[in-house]
Structure formats: structure tokens, C-alpha cells
Amino acid sequence: MAKKTEEKLGKYINFFTDFGFKKLFGEEVNKKLLINFLNTLLVDVKITKIKYLKNEHLGKQEKDRKSIFDLYCQNEKGEHFIIEMQKAKQKYFKDRGVFYASSVILSQAKKDKKAEKGSGEPDFVWNYELANVYTIAVMDFKFDAIGEESEGNQVKHDVMLLNIETNKIFYDKLRFIYLEMPNFTKTINELESDYDKWLYILKNISNFEDAPEILNQGIFMEVFEIAEIANYSSEEMLAYEDSLKSYRDLKNSMITYREEGFQKGEIVGLEKGVKQANKINAINCIHLGLDNQTVHQITNLSIFEIDQIRKELSK
């Protein structure tokens, strides 16, 4: 099967772009695709219905930090799902995931309106029962799963709170699923399950000239139909091209800082590359309409630097 060069637009969209990921999993008409993907990934969780929720959680006070998710959903049992596509490694990536999940946990706290208004004793007592919270991260980079960049070929990291003395699960309502996509190396002839097919499509679809027969069946036929660029409006085409450019710029900047920083052993080169990657991330955030404080939290750039980027974009 021939592959397109990276410079060409190709026949199918790249699902590692913001546009592609949200086109596939974030639109109401494609909801069943997200349900199928989650059921395939979480084999012990069966979802029949799902609804999209606002992908921003606020703290109790204005000064509290915001949590911004790619997709935030809830199933018919009231369980919560945070689904993200991560294109490049970030500092404190695991901390960030825990922070996001914690904000969803906090949002479940029951509030008594009478007590809040100071009009007497609360008319109920909350027993602290929580619904499950699942965080799913599809990662286009190597993951420091155990404190250092993984060197093995593990693709799926399924994480819960564990009793380290008994090696038994202590709490199963808070769960993190990390998909380390660079480690998925199966060929088309090695695909055995729908799980394999989903990962193969997510990673490789933008390189296809046509849908392979083994994937052009069942629900995956719809995936290829959604991914075909020829089906998009002119506005969608422009949005995708912009998203694809941002993705390629980010990947190229990461390659640059690795070459300049690691190959030459120059810390200056590394810092320059990281700074460039942060700037590209900031530009993407600004295009999404995020405020300066949120952009600062995501990129670690100063408010002054973010203002300068906004001025450059407005020229």
C-alpha cells in the first residue's frame, strides 16, 4: 500500500490533529464511534449511551485554576470520561492528568442550597459516594510511565490506585488509560482485534491511499467515510489545513530541539526547541479562544510573552 509524503494533504485526515480528533470523536452525529472506541478500550466497561458535557470545569472561586479537556462525556450510569489527544510530551504530564480528574471528582460534591444561603440546617447528608472517573490519553510520544521514558513496547498503560504491599487494587473508581502510540507497531496483517484496528487506524489513516479490505467493514467503514477529506466543506477544509499545519510545526520543532539539544549535547539548543514548541502550543490555544491565564498554565510562557504572540498574530 503506497503512502503519501508528509507534505501532501492526502486522502484522509490525520487524527492526531485537533480537527481530526474532534471530527472523529467529538461530534454528536459520530457519538457511536466514541462509544465503540471506549467499549473496545475498556473491556470491563459497557457503554450504551453517552452525552457530551462542557469541557471546562471551574473551581469554587474565581481564582481557582481552570481545567480544559479535549472531550468530556458522561454515560448512562453517570460515569465520567475525559478523552484527550496529546501530540507532544509536556512537563508534569501525569500531574496534569490527575489535576483534571480531580476537578471532575470535585464537581460531584453535592451542595445544599438552604445551607449555602444560611437558612438553616441542610436537608440532606451526602454520603460521599462518587461516580467512576476515567481519563483516556492517546499519546503521540514516549511516556515516562515509571519516572523515566519507557524503553519497552507497552502500548496501553492501565492505572488505578494500588496497595503496594498486597499488589491489589485499592480504589477502582479513579482510572487512567494511557495509549503510547509510538509503541504500536503492528502491521496490517498482524491486526487481530477491534482494539488493534482502532489503534492502527488512529496512527496510520492519513497515510492510506484507500481503505484496506480488513478495515473497510463494520463500524470502521464509517471511520473512513468521516476521514475522507473530499467530503468536507470549504470551511472544514480550511480548518483542517490550519490544524494540520500546527501539528506538523509542533512535530518539526520537537525534532529540532532533540537534534540541537541531545545530539550536540547543547542545553541551549534544547531550551530553544522547547521554547519554540511552547510558542506553537500558545498559538494553537489563542486560536481556540483561550485567555492568557489558561494559555500560561498550558505552555508555561509568561503573560508578557503571550501578549507579544497575540500582537504578532494580529499584524
Q: What is the pTM of this model?
A: 0.74
Secondary element (H or E) of residue 247: helix 234-258
pLDDT of residue 289: 78
| pLDDT value, residue 62 | 45
pLDDT in tens, 244-259: 988 888 777 766 665 6
Domain boundaries, the chain: 1-231, 232-315
Over its length of 315 residues, how does the chain's per-residue pLDDT go in tens digits?
444 434 567 899 999 999 999 999 999 999 999 999 999 999 899 999 999 998 765 544 444 445 556 899 999 999 999 999 988 877 788 888 999 999 999 989 876 555 555 556 656 677 889 999 999 999 998 877 655 555 568 999 999 999 999 999 999 999 999 999 999 999 999 999 999 999 999 999 999 999 999 998 899 999 999 999 999 999 999 999 988 988 888 777 766 665 655 555 444 454 566 677 788 888 888 877 788 888 887 777 888 888 889 888 877
The span from the CA of 83 to the CA of 86, in Å, is 10
* 198's grid cell: 482502532
The helix/strand/coil state of 138 is: strand
Task: Report the C-alpha gap between 69 and 130 in whole angstroms.
Answer: 20
Take residue 43 and report the three cell numbers written for it: 473491556
Strand partners, 175: 134
Contacts of 281 (CB under 8 A, 6+ apart): 88, 250, 298, 299
Q: How many residues does the chain have?
A: 315
Q: What is the pLDDT of residue 122?
A: 59
119: phi then psi, degrees, rounded to nearest 5: -105, 25
Amino acid identity, residue 276?
Answer: Q
- In angstroms, the CA 136 to CA 157 distance is 10
Label the pairing between strands 133-139 and 168-180.
Answer: parallel
Which neighbouring-strand residues pair with 161?
A: 171
Query: Tell me, what amino acid is at 98?
Result: V
Q: How far is CA 43 from CA 39, 46, 85, 150, in A?
A: 6, 7, 20, 24
